[in-house]
Amino acid sequence: MQRNRNTSVMQFALNARLSYIRVKYLFLMWLVVFVGSWVVYVQYSTYSELCRGQECKTIICDKYSQGIIDGSACSNLCEESSLYFRRCLSTKPNNQVYTSSWGDQYGVIKCQLGDVLHYELGEEMEPKKEIALFDKPTRGTSVEKFKEMVASLLKAKVGDQAYLSSLVALILSVADSNKDGHISLPEAKSAWALLQHNEVLLAVVLQGREHTPRLLGFCGDLYVVEHVPHAPLYGLSLPWPMELWIPTGMRLSMDQWFTPSWPRKAKIFIGLLELIEDIFHGTFGSFLMCDMRASTFGYNDRYDLRLVDGRYVVAEEAFKQAMILQRCEEDEDCVYGVDCRTACDRAEHRCMAELAQPNLARACGALKDYLLRGAPFHLQEELRKQLYACSALKGSAEQMEMEHSLILNHLKTFLWKQISHTNDS
Ligand SMILES: Nc1ncnc2c1ncn2[C@@H]1O[C@H](COP(=O)(O)OP(=O)(O)OP(=O)(O)O)[C@@H](O)[C@H]1O
Ligand SMILES: [Mg+2]
């Protein structure tokens, strides 16, 4: 009797334990399913919010089919589907960036859906919420009149200079997308919309130079550029829950983990110095690079630097004109892009026109750690000294032209000397 009672108590205890384990597993499974679907949902909603390639295509192809716009990429994109969107690279919903296939060419499609950096003389330097409307030039505008429009837009951007007419001719040759020697109204509308993008203007100005990706084609203000195989320059991209847990100091050194060997980094940096030389007093005026972060640059398989994001490269003249119209209370209000700063005239509540630090100084400051890390021991002291002198340059480039070119040439020669005997040069 006693034995029977003991057995049934044990059975009861065993059953209770089994059902407890079952409930625990059920709960765990439910938790996994819940967290899993939440992650999938967050990923999906982030993706659908960020990746609006289809929307871009629909808007552009609609305008093309209505005969409003035309360009070298239109029929391939909209009719033959030989140009198509591949992987989404966008990090902002209004700035669509996709890798693309176009025949055997691997490129990158860029298309703006919201904020277009669009400013003209007399306007505040605020990004305006506006999608290209393709309302200019209007029907009936002659080619001569269109030329004048382009010339005055360029004059406002790059200033009045001797080569303005050849820049206009260059823009018009790009606008004539089917190369029939005639610019149709849809071609002119596309060219006008494209010209509002800093990146496109820069690609045209620097065409033939090797540090900006080539412009492969366009349709309206959607454009395709060469794909840069290694972009950004460095930096790990981690899922945001992980980002929250990593301290800034550790993050900075983690970013430098997967970078090329030092001679290759030196070659990439020389590329940056060459780009800075190209746009400082170049044929078509000076440009300011106002986003000197690693994400702005990339490099190809031969370790030649490429500028992958030219949205904040502005003509110096346009920058000055816009800056003096900007109202301010303190210096912090006088920043354009990421790092182009001027001082605030507190009496007048207006920003000053002169840039605090030239492109060269900001480049040295931003990429100092990148270049110093892994440098041969016997070079470190000299390199540190040169980078320090470079990043301490103040004032606009014209004000200290001599010092600017001395520092730039010193640094370039120094780096060349170190790598000229290696295979990478
Ligand atoms: N021509 C290109 N070749 C290869 N990758 C490119 C090219 N152009 C842009 N990218 C990549 O596309 C991604 C998005 O670029 P984008 O400049 O729009 O965003 P971001 O630099 O991450 O953000 P931000 O808006 O702050 O500039 C980046 O990872 C960039 O490296
Ligand atoms: Mg960028």
How far is Cα 243 from Cα 374, in angstroms, rounded to an integer?
Answer: 25
Structure confidence at residue 242 (pLDDT)? 79
- Residue range(s) defining the domain that contains residue 12: 1-50
Structure confidence at residue 83 (pLDDT)? 96
Identify whether 234 is part of a domain: no
In a shared domain, residues 202 and 298? no
In a shared domain, residues 124 and 111? yes
In a shared domain, residues 254 and 323? yes
Q: What is the DSSP letter of 215?
A: E
CA of 289 to the centre of ligand 2 (A): 12
| Beta bridge partner(s), residue 84 | 101
In a shared domain, residues 271 and 413? yes
Ligand with the closest atom to the CA of 97: 1
Identify whether 237 is part of a domain: no
The parts of the chain modelled with pLDDT lower than 70 are: 1-7, 10, 114-132, 396-399, 423-425
CA 50 to each of CA 54, 58, 90: distance values in angstroms, whole numbers, following the listed order? 11, 16, 6
Structure confidence at residue 131 (pLDDT)? 59
pLDDT tens for 302-318 read: 999 999 999 999 999 89
Structure confidence at residue 41 (pLDDT)? 79
Q: What is the DSSP letter of 297?
A: E
Contact 313, 290 (CB under 8 A): yes
Structure confidence at residue 5 (pLDDT)? 67
How far is Cα 358 from Cα 100, in angstroms, rounded to an integer?
Answer: 35
Structure confidence at residue 230 (pLDDT)? 95
| Beta bridge partner(s), residue 297 | 307
CA 303 to each of CA 61, 127, 228, 253, 259: distance values in angstroms, whole numbers, following the listed order? 37, 34, 11, 22, 11
In a shared domain, residues 46 and 131? no
SS (H, E, C) 147-179: HHHHHHHHHHHHCCCCCHHHHHHHHHHHHCCCC
In a shared domain, residues 64 and 116? yes
In a shared domain, residues 69 and 183? yes
Residue-wise DSSP of 73-141:
THHHHHTS--EEEEEE--SBTTEEEEEEEETTEEEEEEEESSEE----TTS-S--EE-------SPTT-
In a shared domain, residues 276 and 345? yes
Task: Return the best residue to mutate from 46, 51, 91 for the ligand 1 pocket (most ligand atoms within 8 A of CB).
Answer: 91
Q: What is the pTM of this model?
A: 0.85
Task: Return the best residue to mutate from 212, 240, 309, 313 for the ligand 1 pocket (most ligand atoms within 8 A of CB).
Answer: 309
Task: Return the best residue to mutate from 46, 89, 99, 301 for the ligand 1 pocket (most ligand atoms within 8 A of CB).
Answer: 89
In a shared domain, residues 394 and 248? yes
Residues touching ligand 1 (Cβ under 6 Å) are 89, 91-92, 95, 97, 108, 213, 225, 227-228, 231-232, 295, 298, 308-309
Structure confidence at residue 12 (pLDDT)? 73
Structure tokens given for 181? 């020697």
CA of 329 to the centre of ligand 1 (A): 33
CA of 89 to the centre of ligand 1 (A): 7
Pairing of strands 335-336, 340-341: antiparallel
In a shared domain, residues 46 and 58? no
Identify whether 399 is part of a domain: yes
Identify whether 186 is part of a domain: yes
For residue 399, what are the contacts with CB-CB under 8 A and spacing of at least 6?
Answer: 354
Identify whether 121 is part of a domain: yes
Identify whether 77 is part of a domain: yes
| Beta bridge partner(s), residue 306 | 298
How far is Cα 131 from Cα 118, in angstroms, rounded to an integer?
Answer: 10
| Beta bridge partner(s), residue 107 | 100, 226
pLDDT tens for 51-63 read: 999 999 999 999 9
| Beta bridge partner(s), residue 298 | 306
Number of domains in the chain: 3
CA 213 to each of CA 182, 219, 301, 326, 342: distance values in angstroms, whole numbers, following the listed order? 27, 18, 14, 32, 29
Structure confidence at residue 253 (pLDDT)? 83
φ, ψ of residue 99 to 5 degrees: the values are: -75, 155
Ligand with the closest atom to the CA of 127: 1
In a shared domain, residues 205 and 311? no
Identify whether 82 is part of a domain: yes
Identify whether 217 is part of a domain: yes
Structure tokens given for 358? 């030239």
- Rounded to 5°, the CA angle 290-231-116 comes to 45
Which single residue is written with the structure tokens 């945001």? 240
In a shared domain, residues 68 and 186? yes
